[in-house]
Amino acid sequence: MPRIDDYIASRALAAQHLREQDPQVVAARGRAEYQICQDQEGLILSYFGRQHWINWPEVAVTYLEGEGEVPIQEQILMLHYLENTKGDPLTGETIDFRQAPGGQFYYSAFVGRAQTPLLKIFGQNLELYRQVAEHMGGELAPLGDVAATYLALPLVPITHVLWKGDEEFEPAVTILFDLSIVTHLPTEDIAAISGMSVYRLMGMARKLMAS
């Protein structure tokens, strides 16, 4: 488990690499919006539908609207995306995590971080998943018994697929990505952002079940 010092160092390194680049080029590559606001250059980047402001040359990540500090893990994912993406468009071809470079090596960690929580919370209640997906901006997809796609970053859709199970098979889930994700994020970050996609839904599920 990374320590906070590791996260701080990772964020600092990504910011250092980005500040050496032209923010207009970075924005175009990552499908972000370049702006100058009160003589301050920066980018507006969407992360799971919420707009973030990344100023230049400090490369600090804040919410475009609203209070609070952006969680450092989310800051790192956004910066790594801007640092790594080549701007490759979506291919329409899906892969699972094991097909990413080194995915087999990280697969057990990925399952524990993303697929197991998804199955635990929603495997026996697909209608709850459907309701949560609609609340959280998911686009329902014709896969499994219920599925939804979330735009984590401008070029990074993530699709959850759930099966309800029957007398022969236990409930099951999988998480799919566009083939191009390997050009936008390192494999470790694919695992991390998959976990984030699930944790967001878990919070909304608790709210709906409590109401």
- Pairing outcome for strands 40-47 and 50-56: antiparallel
User: Quick one: DSSP state of residue 171?
Assistant: -
Q: Which pLDDT score, from 0 to 100, does residue 210 have?
A: 86
pLDDT score, position 105:
94
Question: For the chain, what's the residue count?
Answer: 211
Q: Which residue ranges in the chain fall short of pLDDT 50?
A: none
The neighbouring-strand residues paired with 172 are 163
* Contact between residue 12 and residue 6 where contact means Cβ atoms under 8 Å apart: no
pLDDT at 1: 55
- The pTM score is 0.94
Separation of alpha carbons 18 and 127, rounded Å: 42
Q: Which residues contact 13 (CB under 8 A, 6 or more apart)?
A: none
pLDDT given for residue 2 in this prediction: 67
Contacts by 111-115 with C-beta closer than 8 Å and gap 24+?
113/191, 113/192, 113/194, 113/195, 114/175, 114/191, 114/194, 114/195, 114/197, 114/198, 115/173, 115/174, 115/175
